[in-house]
A and B are shown apart, each in its own frame.
Chain A
Amino acid sequence: AQSVTQLGSHVSVSEGALVLLRCNYSSSVPPYLFWYVQYPNQGLQLLLKYTSAATLVKGINGFEAEFKKSETSFHLTKPSAHMSDAAEYFCAVSGYNNNDMRFGAGTRLTVKP
């Protein structure tokens, strides 16, 4: 079975600082990897996904993630944090048929003025 581990349940950065949210995966098959964002009182929204086409994946709102097979990682980054980035972020992994998507526990991002 696949799984993901998100390192750090809470991350706090200053506005304008680099955002780095960590995700490591475990999968016995080539994984498909996702980052979702959840704003307060809302459902999850896809930020980006990796489907083996390119190791560096660009998403919405200036976020990107790099797939590193050797490190089994898929960390999410953004060069400059904005107050509106404050939310909870979830990393997820699935196999080919999307019938067994596994989510990480989530990382809550706080952005300080």
Chain B
Amino acid sequence: DADVTQTPRNRITKTGKRIMLECSQTKGHDRMYWYRQDPGLGLRLIYYSFDVKDINKGEISDGYSVSRQAQAKFSLSLESAIPNQTALYFCATSDPGTEITDTQYFGPGTRLTVL
């Protein structure tokens, strides 16, 4: 079974609709992240959470919100979807442990299309 799962894997929606993307992990990591991937732009950080009570904005948080329901769950919401939010969305987790900088483990992605 995958350590980081994302649901749905694909979603088509219309402009103005509210959308929630969900991420679950079984790795026991405290840190979770949401990224979006656009062709030619790589991945950009939307939000990150270093524990259940810690939520921080990333590089491109406008138009998005998140909820950390538990250590294992981190949801991304688009309150009113717009076409330029069409992208591939990735969830990631990490745990610094004893490393200087922690490795991020990525889910399989959610492809979102906003018409």
Residues on A lying within 8 angstroms of B by beta carbon are 9, 32, 36, 41-46, 49, 51-52, 90, 92, 94, 96-106
- Check B106–A44 contact: CB distance below 8 A: yes
Known: A9-B40, A43-B90. A100 touches B102 (CB 8 A): no
> B interface, how many residues as a size bin?
20 to 34
Chain A residues positioned under 8 Å from B108 (CB to CB): 41-43
Measured between beta carbons, the chain A residues less than 8 angstroms from B48 are 99
Stretch from B65-73, B76-84, B93-101 contacting the other chain? B93-101
Minimal beta-carbon separation of B59 from chain A (angstroms): 8
Annotate B101-115 by CB proximity to A: 1 below 8 A, 0 otherwise: 111111111000000
The chain B residue with its CB closest to the CB of A53 is B100
Name A103's closest neighbour in chain B (CB-CB). Answer: B42
12 more CB-based (< 8 A) A-B contacts, given A41-B109, A92-B43: A43-B4, A43-B92, A43-B107, A46-B104, A49-B103, A51-B99, A52-B100, A96-B101, A99-B48, A100-B58, A100-B59, A104-B42
B6 to chain A, nearest CB (A): 8
Known: A99-B48, A103-B42, A106-B42. A44 touches B102 (CB 8 A): no
Q: B90, B96, B107, B109: which contacts A98 (Cβ < 8 A)?
A: B96
Nearest Cβ on chain B to A57's Cβ, whole angstroms: 13
Measured between alpha carbons, how far is A13 from B28 in the docked complex, in Å? 40
Q: Which of B28-83 contact A (CB under 8 A)?
A: 31, 35, 40-45, 48, 50, 56, 58-59
Q: Which B residues are CB-close (under 8 A) to A101?
A: 45, 104
Taking CB atoms, residues of chain B closer than 8 Å to A49 are 101, 103
CA gap between A101 and B103 in the complex, in Å: 11
CB-CB nearest 10 A-B residue pairs: A43-B106, A103-B42, A103-B43, A32-B101, A44-B106, A51-B100, A105-B42, A43-B108, A46-B103, A43-B107
